[in-house]
Structure 1
């Protein structure tokens, strides 16, 4: 597989992946100038919404692997059918989450914000509105999944980038001239997510395939997606715990954590473009019976991931003193951000390889191994490290040292799995 073919899939996926976190960075910058309390509230509410985004990732990744194998075996209608059922599942879960968020927002925000009632109240109000975008967000994730599976990464580019650009323009208008403040940020989120979901749904209708729900196939997707869901929950337990610990170090610490965390999500999802290409290409290769080609592709993508991660590390190091000032005028927030920065820089090359190999194993359908590895790294590394940081009063630097440990443990496990070759199982559907 040539680097040109990898790039042809990865570059449009990069724009799709970068669009949402780039919008969040704009959102963070806009809200940050309202003060430390609104920024801390956005950190709490935004981290909670990340849980829904991870559910979307589970939907997208599970759909990509299954659709890619069927596409590689020469059955495009079956690949699209995976997208139809994934979309029904996404819509059902999204509506349920939007309804559940209304009573659950306040107790959840208070749990994460600790004793600061001002931050908790603002976060709950933001979350109730932002959760209304959950159906659109999950529909877009399902749409991304099946389109990537059939190796179409160009339409998702327009279906995600357009709504995000519209919302990025809308956010500062609603926050400042209209005067909605933090609420304007939540409304802009809902607009982008709903419009994006509608565009992906229209693309599915245009395929002229049967659109009725098929409970048997949905149940099969749920069973096969179980390991991805557990893996995603391990991530979310880790990031929610990190935000909760940061909140207990004070408003400036949790605001600085929000800045660093959203930048980390931006670089992680940008590097995950290689993982998207890997899911599609590895799944198609194994569906076509080409295990040797899949192994060659995995090695090449791992080296590309290392190069991309190293490049991000250099850029982040160069911006250590300037970047935090883009998001908050508060000197205390800047000082807190600098304590996380060395760890943030150091993990980038390692993370580039981790995200690339995650995509290889997801495309291969080797989800159980990824589940076990993520749970082990979170439960045995990240969570003990950040709660130790709280107990020993190590501050934000301790939290980010724990995140680096999380990346290192996953890297070791992925390299060992890649070397074993047991992940490369051929066939239209992995047994």
Structure 2
């Protein structure tokens, strides 16, 4: 019993740090390459995103619960239906976040109270990275679904893949091409989008 709990818990813990880890990688790289203002912008923008996506934790948890019920009943079709529903909610929610991004930006950065220069750069970061909101929330949905299927290893592997992709692209676009804040935001979005086809193939058995 304890081994079974650990088998699910340890990969789940690693998977849960996926979005914050992207921000940490960005901050670490910018700390070596950019100005204090650029670094501050990534830190401020990353904090806004972490808080924003934390509010969508229900998407992962509810998907886990409903999928676990279907899995316990050995109902594969119902499990797939739960995944489809979760992905639809994630997609619609992500698009909604993009649409209302001016309001989110105003509220988020208003609360952070950064300097004018840092806030200007952070808003640039926000405007680019928010475009990956659907992919980010879909990752939450996939994570919850895999956990409900008692498969914690697959999302853990994909989280590692996302962060490796993030590191490589950061080295190319930020360190190599000197894109700074906009490059970091672009890389974070690309890293999340890249894994979506893999998740779909594994989840739907394509």
Place the TM-score, normalised by the shorter chain, in its bin: 0.7 to 0.9
Checking the alignment, whether the CA contact within 8 Å between 2:20 and 2:50 is kept in structure 1 is no
Shift of 1:137: 0.6
What secondary structure is seen at the aligned counterpart in 1 of 2:24? helix
Gaps of 5+ in 1: 208-431
- Structure showing greater radius of gyration is 1
Question: 1:173 is matched with which residue?
Answer: 172
Q: TM-score, normalised by structure 1?
A: 0.44
Checking the alignment, whether the CA contact within 8 Å between 1:76 and 1:150 is kept in structure 2 is no
- Does 2:47 align with 1:24? no
Number of matched pairs: 205
Checking the alignment, whether the CA contact within 8 Å between 1:137 and 1:196 is kept in structure 2 is no
Call closer, same or farther: CA 1:47–1:19 in 2, change over 3 Å: closer
How many Å separate the matches in 1 of 2:87 and 2:109?
Answer: 33
Question: 1:301 is matched with which residue?
Answer: none
Question: 2:123 is matched with which residue?
Answer: 124
Call closer, same or farther: CA 1:92–1:115 in 2, change over 3 Å: closer
Checking the alignment, whether the CA contact within 8 Å between 2:87 and 2:138 is kept in structure 1 is yes
Checking the alignment, whether the CA contact within 8 Å between 1:136 and 1:194 is kept in structure 2 is yes
CA RMSD of aligned residues (A): 2.2
1:397-412 aligned at under 5 Å gives the runs none
Shift of 1:142: 0.7
How many Å separate the matches in 2 of 1:109 and 1:91?
Answer: 22
How many Å separate the matches in 2 of 1:48 and 1:190?
Answer: 15
1:203-214 aligned at under 5 Å gives the runs 203-206=202-205
Question: 1:70 is matched with which residue?
Answer: 70
Question: 2:189 is matched with which residue?
Answer: 190
Question: 1:91 is matched with which residue?
Answer: 91
Call closer, same or farther: CA 1:78–1:109 in 2, change over 3 Å: closer
Checking the alignment, whether the CA contact within 8 Å between 1:136 and 1:195 is kept in structure 2 is no
What secondary structure is seen at the aligned counterpart in 1 of 2:177? coil
How many Å separate the matches in 2 of 1:90 and 1:167?
Answer: 22
Question: 2:60 is matched with which residue?
Answer: 60
C-alpha offsets along residues 77-103 of structure 1, whole Å, 9 cap, x if unaligned? 3233211101111011112212332x3
